[in-house]
Amino acid sequence: MNPLVKRVLGSSLAGALAHPSSVDDYLALIDDRLSLAEPRGRIVHTARQTADSVTLSIEPNDNWRGHHAGQHVLLGVNLDGTRHSRCFSIASAPDARLIEITVKRNGDGRVSNHLVDQARTGQLVYLSPAEGDFCPPMQAPAKALLLSAGSGITPVMSVLRTWLARNAPTDVVFLHYARTPVDMIYAAELEKLAAEHAQLQSIAVFTGADGGRLDAAALDAQVPDLAERETWLCGPAGFMDTAETLIAARSNAPLHREQFAASRRASAHGQGAVQFLKSDIAASGEHGSLLEIAEGAGLSPPYGCRMGICHACKCHIAEGAVRDLRTDRVREVRDTDLQLCIHAAAGDVAIDL
């Protein structure tokens, strides 16, 4: 949108003329991707690399401020008249015109499964600013290991694509673990890139086909010069725990671990009562995170990742005692904004919800 037009439409006069609707409501009549401030995008291409995944290429509007390699985004879709948002890693390089994410089926995950089954060209999606610090420095390392499993391949693909797009002279071992060859996302692209770039070695291990597992013997054979390589690691929490232990025993080089590891939280058990002030509802705080307690009480607070990453579920706590489910730390809070998904009641809690 032209900056001058946006400035005029963002004025208090334009807002008053649009009332009781918003300027964005009127812009949506022209193109629902238009907004004065909100990043939005339109799916321009879908590709289903595996039976349980979909790769989406998204053209953002001019409110999108870009991303760094390895970051993630909160992506929202409208389902049954309600916007639902979830957190996904960005697989594209920062210089790419389109944002690429790959979504895998996730149990009964409503947004993930909707996208895998029904994402279509032309569909509108809502975007948050990119977040996360799983990012390589501007100066690429001389040697690197990109280690991933399952859908953890997506942020490390962004890192790899960034280096290749910038012709970084980095010696890269890309080591990925998947259940079977047909379950591996980006398999064809990695094979092609390895053939085109002598500095890239791509290794795939299929745990279902040959029983391959990440262990000391396998890592020593696959990456004999591990001590010389800076590592970027992403995958299921158990996989990353194992990898981190093995790598630490063999190398002092930096290891970057995608912070989706925030899912490694304690069991969500609490105590006391939770009072939802705006809804005038009280509930026991014993069974679940504050987010789960709210949902169990019939409320629908926004959320994205449920792992303490995206901050979509942040809510104002009037007062009370809470326990951080990542660290088990208990503290008294008052007039504080907290993420509901990673905190439980540690006594009576009053929430402005």
Residue 210: the pLDDT is: 66
Residue 260: the pLDDT is: 52
Q: What's the predicted TM-score (pTM) here? A: 0.79
**Interval 65-94: pLDDT, tens:** 999 999 999 899 988 887 888 889 999 999
Residue 31: the pLDDT is: 86
DSSP string, 221-272: HH-TTGGG-EEEEES-HHHHHHHHHHHHTT--S-EEE-GGGGG-----B-BS
Judged by average pLDDT, the poorest of 20-24, 49-53, 228-232, 279-283 is: 20-24
Taking residues 205-213, report their average pLDDT.
81
Taking residues 268-287, report their average pLDDT.
90
Taking residues 117-135, report their average pLDDT.
92
Which pair of structure tokens corresponds to residue 58? 């998204």
Residue 117: the pLDDT is: 94
* % of residues, the chain, pLDDT over 70: 97
Residue 209: the pLDDT is: 62
**CATH class assigned to 38-127:** mainly beta
Q: Tell me: domain 273-351, CATH 1.20.1600.10, correct? A: no
In the predicted model, what is the mean pLDDT of the chain?
Answer: 90
Answer whether residue 261 shows pLDDT above 50.
no
Q: How far apart are CA 311 and CA 304, in angstroms?
A: 8
**Interval 178-207: pLDDT, tens:** 999 999 999 999 999 999 999 999 999 999
Q: How far is CA 20 from CA 17, 35, 211, in A?
A: 8, 17, 62
Domain ranges, ordered by start, for the chain: 1-33, 38-127, 143-263, 273-351
Q: How far apart are CA 342 and CA 322, in angstroms?
A: 10
Per residue, the 3-state secondary structure of 163-198, as one string, reads HHHCCCCCEEEEEEEECCHHHCCCHHHHHHHHHHCC
Q: Tell me: domain 143-263, CATH 3.40.50.80, correct? A: yes
Residue 173: the pLDDT is: 97
Taking residues 254-283, report their average pLDDT.
78
**Interval 314-341: pLDDT, tens:** 999 999 999 998 888 899 999 999 999 9
**Interval 151-185: pLDDT, tens:** 999 999 999 999 999 999 899 999 999 999 999 99
If one compares 274 and 81, the residue with the highest pLDDT of the two is 274
Answer whether residue 230 shows pLDDT above 70.
yes
- H/E stretch holding 199 reads none
If one compares 59 and 137, the residue with the highest pLDDT of the two is 59
Q: Of 300, 296, 303, which is closest to residue 341 (Cα–Cα)? A: 303
Q: Of 25, 21, 22, 27, which is closest to residue 2 (Cα–Cα)? A: 27
Residue 51: the pLDDT is: 93
Which pair of structure tokens corresponds to residue 56? 């989406």
Reduced to 3 DSSP states, what percent helix, strand and coil does the chain have, rounded to the nearest 5? 25, 30, 40
